[in-house]
Structure 1
Amino acid sequence: MRDVIITLMVFGALPFIFRNPSYGMAAWIWISVMNPHMQGWGFARTAPYAAIIAAVTMLAMLVNRERYRLPMTGVVITFLAFVAWMSVGTLFAFYPGMVGEQLIKVLKIMGMSLVVLMLLKKREHVDWLIWTVVLSLGFYGVKGGIFTLVTGGAYRVWGPSGTFIDGNNEVALALVMCIPLMYYLIDRIENKWGKRAMLASIGLCAIAALGSYSRGAALALGAMLVFMWLKGKHKIKLGLVLLIVVPLALVFMPEQWHTRLDTLNSYEQDASAMGRINAWKMAFNLANDRPMFGGSFEIYNREIFSRYAPVPDDVHAAHSIYFQVLGEHGWVGFGLYLLLGFLTWRAGSWVLNHARYVDELQWACDMVRMIQVSLLGFMVGGAFLSLAYFDVPYYLMAALVAVRLLVEKELAQRSDKAAVKEVADAVA
């Protein structure tokens, strides 16, 4: 039954996507972030829904009267350079015959991120993006939060199988990123019960993140909450809520949860933590040996670790977005990745600097602040996870670029109107 429902939803949306390609943006994010087909038990799990939505969306863009162009900003140029560098690097991979599948997967994510950016032409389109990400991730956060409350935190929260966020660590970081976006949407909801439902969802997502037993997510959650308080409005109210809720949440979690978190203070005795450090050193040594392109994809095996890792037999995934990019794409690729993050952040800061005194653009400031908080959570939690190609941060990157372009357009129109009025007054 689930398979049939999901199929009807996807194919029922196609005519609307063909009429308005921006609906395709929302449908793509929904199918790629929430992965609703993975909740099915039959044919839906392997059906090419994402490819169908992508194909119809791009066809609609081609036949639509409106022209869709890629804005060649510094962020976009750096993004294209990073993608190109990854692609060229596969030619110099340790295992050229094995990297094709991963490259195609990454190019799909990056390519559709650019399509999403081209479709973000209005404020409402960016709001659609935020809403779609929140509903897609919030589904697992609410579900996981209720599960944690019912079980007293005795069992871990896991993500949907077969997705980017199927692990406990991965889904926890995704939920940490979702919380600031939910906070932004509260002021966009007019119904008081809708506001309360969103507040409850924020709490459940935070509980689910704790219930994952992810140490990296716990650090990311702490950093995100502090930054959200600094960036958010209603500091007194939010501060009081955090002072009350955070201690209660920590007291609620069982002893085994606190025992696991305590290993952060004694990581030298924790095999998992030492395995990650071993993988980081492997990536660092590999990048020093191959500084231009690194080893490309599929480098986490015994042969590579025996060559570059201090402990050859302790084979782990990268467990860090930074060391993942460094080992797979070398120092040049790593530099492009950091530059992309810097320019994306600066695009948001530009909006805050130029729009904060314009009442009609306060929505942009509110949105940018919470997107930055979300990305900060990713930057902190991502230091301990192999999620360099997770699509949500790239969608948020597209949102920041789009918001800056919208603000630039609004400010230019205001400047033109002011100039016209000045001339009219001078003539009069």
Structure 2
Amino acid sequence: MRDIVITVLVFGSVPLIIYRPYIGILVWSWLGYMNPHRLCWGFAVTMPFAQTTALAIIIGTLISKEDRKLPVDRVVVVLVLFILWMFITTVFALNPTEAWGEWNKVWKIQLMTFFSMVLIKDLQRLKWLIWTIAVSLGYYGIKGGIFTILTGGNYKVWGPASTFIGGNNEIGLALIMTIPLLRFLQMQTQRFWLKAGLLGAIGCCAIAILGTHSRGALLGLLIMGGSLILKGKNKFFFGLLALVGGMLLYQFMPESWHERMGTIKTYEKDGSAMGRINAWGFAINVAKDRLFGGGFGAFDGFWFQIYAPNPDDFHDAHSIYFEVLGEHGFIGLALFLLLGFFTWQNASRCIALSKKYPDLQQLGNLMRMVQVSLVGYASSGAFLGLAYFDFYYHLVAVVVIGNYIVNTRAAATTAEQPQEAPANARLRELRSFVRTSVKPERSAVPSK
């Protein structure tokens, strides 16, 4: 039954997507983040829903009469350069077969990122996109939080199998990035029941993150949580709530969880942690030896025998930074970091400009929460290998869209202001000059 429902929903939306292609971005996001077909048990599991939706988006965009121009700024330029560089490194990859297979996934993700920038160009559509992403991933946060409470935290929380967020580390990172979006939605809604529900969802996500038993996710949660309090409203209330809630959850988690988290301080005695450090050394050595890095799939047991400090200790990158460094070299890492830096700066610029327009205050709040998500990705990602996670690139697109909206509004406001004719302006300047030139000087004789 579940397979039939999902199939009918996806294929039934195709005509609507062709008519209004921005709806396809919402459907594609739902499929990409919630992965509803992975919750089925029959034929829907392997159905090409994402490909069908993408094709409908392309067709709808081509025949649409809406503005189809891509907003271009420095973020978009760097993203294009990064994609082109990844293609070049794929050509020179150490493992060509695996590299081209991974490239086939990455370019499709980036294609939908650009279509999001083209089709989502107003605040209302942007909020619908945020709702779609937050609810899709928040589902796993609510489910994982309840599971952690019912099992006393003795079992790990996992994401949907065979997806980007299938592992406990990966779902932990995704939920860290989701909490700020849920907070944005909670700030904007006026309905009490919805505010309370979204606040509960945030709490469940935080519990689920602890339930992943991921050390990287714990560090990311702490750093993201601090940033969320600083950039949000009601700092004292939410700071106190986080402190009390954190202490209760810390006491609630089982001894096995405490033992695993305790290895953060004694990483040199933990085999998994030392394996990651060995993988990071491998990435540095590959980047030093090869301008183009190792390409996708470079973290391979065979190449560890050549480049790793300890050739017999094979591990995945477990870091977005060393993953990019090992696979795309120092140039690739520089582009990756520059993309994040420019995205942050553009979000700050959007926050500043949106203050001038009362109807764009929500946009400013959204950009603040996107920055908190970026903090979570940057901090937790230092210990998790999700450099090509579509969620991150969708946040990049959200910032590009936000800047487009505020720039369009600023341009429209300037155009609406009455402009003085050049001749009148010159005449006014001449009169002012004459008045100041012939102004009589005051008498030097002191008054009585």
If the length of structure 1 is used for normalisation, what is the TM-score? 0.96
Q: Work out whether 1:23 is the aligned partner of 2:26.
A: no
Contact 2:354 2:360 in 1 (8 A): yes
413-422 or 384-393: bigger deviation: 413-422
Residue 178 of structure 2 aligns to which amino acid in structure 1? C
Q: CA deviation at 1:325?
A: 0.4
Q: Counterparts of 1:261-300 in structure 2 under 5 Å?
A: 261-290=261-290, 292-300=291-299
Residue 42 of structure 1 aligns to which amino acid in structure 2? G
Q: Counterparts of 1:2-401 in structure 2 under 5 Å?
A: 2-290=2-290, 292-401=291-400
- What is the alpha-carbon distance in structure 1 between the residues aligned to residue 142 and residue 302 of structure 2? 42
Q: CA deviation at 1:209?
A: 0.3
Residue 404 of structure 2 aligns to which amino acid in structure 1? L
- What is the alpha-carbon distance in structure 1 between the residues aligned to residue 84 and residue 233 of structure 2? 40
Query: Structure 1, residues 170-208: CA drift from partner, whole Å, max 9, x if none?
Result: 001100110000000012222211111100000000000
Residue 119 of structure 1 aligns to which amino acid in structure 2? L
Residue 379 of structure 2 aligns to which amino acid in structure 1? V
Q: CA deviation at 1:69?
A: 1.6
Q: Which runs of 5+ in 2 are unaligned?
A: 426-448
Q: CA deviation at 1:374?
A: 0.6
| Matched position secondary structure for 2:243 | helix
- What is the alpha-carbon distance in structure 2 between the residues aligned to residue 422 and residue 340 of structure 1? 43
- What is the alpha-carbon distance in structure 2 between the residues aligned to residue 260 and residue 421 of structure 1? 70
Residue 199 of structure 2 aligns to which amino acid in structure 1? L
Residue 240 of structure 1 aligns to which amino acid in structure 2? L
| Matched position secondary structure for 2:218 | helix
Query: Structure 1, residues 78-125: CA drift from partner, whole Å, max 9, x if none?
Result: 101100011011121112233211110111111111111111111011
Q: CA deviation at 1:239?
A: 1.6
Contact 2:148 2:208 in 1 (8 A): yes
- What is the alpha-carbon distance in structure 2 between the residues aligned to residue 217 and residue 181 of structure 1? 17
Q: CA deviation at 1:420?
A: 4.9
Query: Structure 1, residues 220-249: CA drift from partner, whole Å, max 9, x if none?
Result: 000001001111111122122112211111
- What is the alpha-carbon distance in structure 1 between the residues aligned to residue 221 and residue 171 of structure 2? 12
Determine the structure 1 residue equivalent to 2:437.
none
Q: CA deviation at 1:305?
A: 0.5
Question: How high is the sequence identity, in percent, across the aligned residues?
Answer: 46
- What is the alpha-carbon distance in structure 2 between the residues aligned to residue 239 and residue 420 of structure 1? 49
4+ aligned runs moved over 3 Å, structure 1: 418-423
Residues 15 and 322 of structure 1, relative CA distance in 2, 3 Å threshold:
same
Residues 69 and 314 of structure 1, relative CA distance in 2, 3 Å threshold:
same
Q: CA deviation at 1:421?
A: 9.5
- What is the alpha-carbon distance in structure 2 between the residues aligned to residue 146 and residue 323 of structure 1? 34
Residue 241 of structure 1 aligns to which amino acid in structure 2? L
Residue 35 of structure 2 aligns to which amino acid in structure 1? N
Q: Which runs of 5+ in 1 are unaligned?
A: none
Residues 288 and 63 of structure 1, relative CA distance in 2, 3 Å threshold:
same
CA RMSD of aligned residues (A): 1.6
Query: Structure 1, residues 128-151: CA drift from partner, whole Å, max 9, x if none?
Result: 111111011001000000000111
| Matched position secondary structure for 2:97 | coil
Aligned length: 424
Q: CA deviation at 1:300?
A: 1.9
Contact 2:319 2:384 in 1 (8 A): yes
- What is the alpha-carbon distance in structure 2 between the residues aligned to residue 316 and residue 357 of structure 1? 50
| Matched position secondary structure for 2:264 | helix
Q: CA deviation at 1:284?
A: 0.5
Residue 37 of structure 2 aligns to which amino acid in structure 1? H
| Matched position secondary structure for 2:98 | coil
| Matched position secondary structure for 2:313 | coil
Q: CA deviation at 1:303?
A: 1.7
Residue 112 of structure 1 aligns to which amino acid in structure 2? M
- What is the alpha-carbon distance in structure 2 between the residues aligned to residue 120 and residue 387 of structure 1? 25
| Matched position secondary structure for 1:387 | coil
Q: CA deviation at 1:353?
A: 2.2
357-366 or 264-273: bigger deviation: 357-366
Q: CA deviation at 1:73?
A: 1.0
Query: Structure 1, residues 254-278: CA drift from partner, whole Å, max 9, x if none?
Result: 1111111000000000000000000
- What is the alpha-carbon distance in structure 2 between the residues aligned to residue 65 and residue 113 of structure 1? 20
66-75 or 378-387: bigger deviation: 66-75
- What is the alpha-carbon distance in structure 1 between the residues aligned to residue 204 and residue 43 of structure 2? 31
Contact 2:344 2:371 in 1 (8 A): yes
344-353 or 94-103: bigger deviation: 94-103
Query: Structure 1, residues 277-307: CA drift from partner, whole Å, max 9, x if none?
Result: 00000001100001x2101012122221111
Residue 198 of structure 2 aligns to which amino acid in structure 1? M
